[in-house]
Amino acid sequence: MDVGITVTADESWTRLCEALVRELTELPGDSFLLLRDPAHGGKVAQFWQSWDDLRAEVGGDDVNGGPPVLTEQDREALVAAGYSPPGDFNTDGGNWWRIIPVPVTADDYRSLAEAAITALRDVHRIPDPSALIYHAWGYATGHRLLDLPGVSPDPAKY
């Protein structure tokens, strides 16, 4: 008999958001964190902690040269989450982006984590964090294992 606690999809996303805030706070300079749906290449949220800023990007319409995948409502949700559209930043690769200059505050980390969850869950319609894999690495630290509930490390990287 299973007496375990059942975690709903909403609770799973909340747990991931809290863990993401913690992991972003601890992300060393010149490090990266990529969350992605391995079944759909453009469904990503990625972060780069440089020495000058923290950059966050989420997937947009430019997915392997295919047709647009975002609706107008999706684009409005990304703008409401604080992202700028592709093309406004010369290295966005078709992604929607945000840049927070250092020092990054606790509120900034929370805002970036919540925006990434909005993009993955609501815009890219990923049903549950268990559909995601992650890859975290840095030039000085190499590959890093993180504590992201429900999200597995990318098996090709670890």
Q: For 7-49, how does the pLDDT look when each residue is reduced to its tens digit (9 = 90+)?
A: 466 899 999 999 999 999 999 889 999 999 998 878 899 999 9
Model pLDDT for residues 104-136, shown as the tens digit of each residue: 999 999 999 999 999 999 999 999 999 999 999
Residue 56: pLDDT over 60: yes
Residue 103: pLDDT over 50: yes
Rounded average pLDDT over 66-86:
89
pLDDT of residue 91: 56
How far is residue 30's CA from residue 49's CA, in Å, rounded to a whole number?
5
- φ/ψ (deg, to 5) at 45: -135, 130
Of 34, 23, 9, 32, which is closest to residue 154 (Cα–Cα)?
34
pLDDT of residue 71: 92
**pLDDT tier, 2 (very low <50, low <70, confident <90, very high otherwise):** very low
pLDDT of residue 114: 96
How far is residue 62's CA from residue 56's CA, in Å, rounded to a whole number?
17
- Chain centroid, CA 74 distance in Å: 16
**pLDDT tier, 3 (very low <50, low <70, confident <90, very high otherwise):** very low
Rounded average pLDDT over 138-148:
86
Q: Please report, as a single letter, which amino acid is at residue 17.
A: C
pLDDT of residue 101: 96
How far is residue 136's CA from residue 116's CA, in Å, rounded to a whole number?
16
- Judge whether 96 and 57 are in contact, CB under 8 Å: yes
pLDDT of residue 63: 57
Question: pTM of the predicted model, to two decimals?
Answer: 0.88
